[in-house]
Chain A
Amino acid sequence: MIIKKIVGFLTSLRLTVVLLAFSIILVFVGTLAQVDEGLYGAQAHYFKRWFVIGVDLFGHKLPLILPGGYLIGTSLLVNLVAAHVYRFQLKTKKIGIQLAHAGVILLLVGQLATDILAREMQLRFVEGEKRSYSESATDYELIFKNGGQETAIPATLLNPGEALKISSLPFTIKVKTFWKNSGVSFRAPMMKSNPLVASNGLALNFDFSSSDEVKSMDQKNIPTAIIDLISPAGVLLGDWVVSGWTGDAGSIETVTEFYQSQVGAEMARKISGQLAVPQSLELDNKSYVFVMRPARIQHNFALTLLKATHTVYPGTDIPKDFRSRVLVENSATGEKREVEISMNHPLRYGGYTFYQYQMTAGEMAEKQGITPSSVLSVVRNPSWLTPYIGCGMVGIGLIIQFMYHLVGFVSKRKTP
Chain B
Amino acid sequence: MKKWIPAILTLVMAAWFLGNLSVPADKDFAYNDFGLLPVTANGRVLPMDSLARNSLLAIREKQTLNAEPWKGWNEKPRIIPATEWLVNVMMNPDVANDWPVFRVDNPDLLSLLKLPEKDIAKKLDGKHYSWNQIQPGLAAFDKESERVEKIDSANRTAYENAVGKMHERLTLYTQLENAVLPTDAQDWPAELAAYEKLIPEGVAAVQAQQAGSAFNTNYFNAFAGYIQRFQFMAGWEPPLILPPNGSHQQWRRMGDALLDAPRGTPVDDAIHDYAKMAGALAGNNPEAFNAALRDYRSTLVPTQTQALAKARSEVFFNQLEPFYGAMVIYILAGLLAVFFWFNMSETLRRSAMWLICLAFVIHTFGLVYRMVLEGRPPVTNLYSSAIFIGWGAVLLGMILERFFKNGIGACVSSVIGFITLIIAHHLAREGDTMEMMRAVLDTNFWLATHVVAVTVGYASTYVAGFLALIYILRGVFTKTLDVDTGRSLARMVYGIVCFATLFSFVGTVLGGIWADQSWGRFWGWDPKENGALIIVLWNALILHLRWGGIIRERGLMNCAVFGNIVTAWSWFGVNMLGIGLHSYGFTDAAFKWLILFVGSQLGIIALGLLPARMWKSFQAKPGQTPA
Contacts and interface: CB of A to CB of B under 8 A. Distances in A.
B86 to A, nearest CB: 17
Contacts of A391: 506, 509-510, 512-513
B43 interface: yes
Given A315-B253, A318-B438, A398 B579 contact: no
A34 interface: yes
A316 B43 contact: yes
Given A20-B541, A31-B577, A318 B521 contact: no
A55 interface: no
Interface string A301-317: 00000000000111110
A34 B513 contact: no
Interface of B: 40-44, 154, 237, 239-240, 250-251, 253, 403, 435-436, 438-440, 442-443, 446, 491, 495, 498-499, 501-502, 505-506, 509-510, 512-514, 516-527, 530-531, 533-534, 537-538, 540-541, 544-545, 547-548, 550, 569, 574, 577-580
A313 B436 contact: yes
Nearest to B545: A17
Contacts of A166: none
B520 A346 contact: yes
Contacts of A387: 509, 512-513, 516, 522
B579 to A, nearest CB: 5
A16 interface: yes
A401 B510 CA distance: 20
Nearest to A115: B523
Given A17-B545, A39-B579, A111-B523, A314 B250 contact: yes
A29 B540 CA distance: 19
A120 interface: yes
A391 B522 CA distance: 12
Contacts of B495: 405-406, 409
Contacts of B513: 387-388, 391
A30 B525 contact: yes
Contact of B239 (A34, A43, A216, A315): A315
B517 A344 contact: yes
Contacts of B569: 28
Given A13-B548, A21-B541, A384-B516, A398 B505 contact: yes
A17 B546 CA distance: 10
Interface stretch (A170-178, A195-203, A282-290, A319-327): A319-327
A357 B253 CA distance: 31
A233 to B, nearest CB: 49
B30 to A, nearest CB: 26
B436 A315 contact: no
Nearest to A316: B43
Contact of A13 (B436, B438, B514, B547): B547
Given A315-B40, A320-B436, A390-B509, A384 B579 contact: no
A321 B518 CA distance: 13
A343 B40 CA distance: 25
Given A14-B550, A20-B540, A42-B525, A395 B439 contact: no
A7 interface: no
Contacts of A27: 530, 533-534, 537
17 contacts: A14-B548, A31-B525, A43-B525, A107-B509, A114-B522, A120-B521, A216-B579, A313-B436, A315-B40, A315-B251, A319-B439, A322-B439, A343-B440, A346-B520, A355-B519, A379-B521, A405-B498
A35 interface: yes
Given A398-B502, A402-B499, 11 more contacts: A23-B537, A24-B534, A28-B530, A31-B530, A31-B531, A47-B525, A216-B579, A314-B43, A315-B237, A319-B439, A406-B495
Contact of B530 (A30, A312, A390, A394): A30
B443 A344 contact: yes
Nearest to B512: A387
B579 A402 contact: no
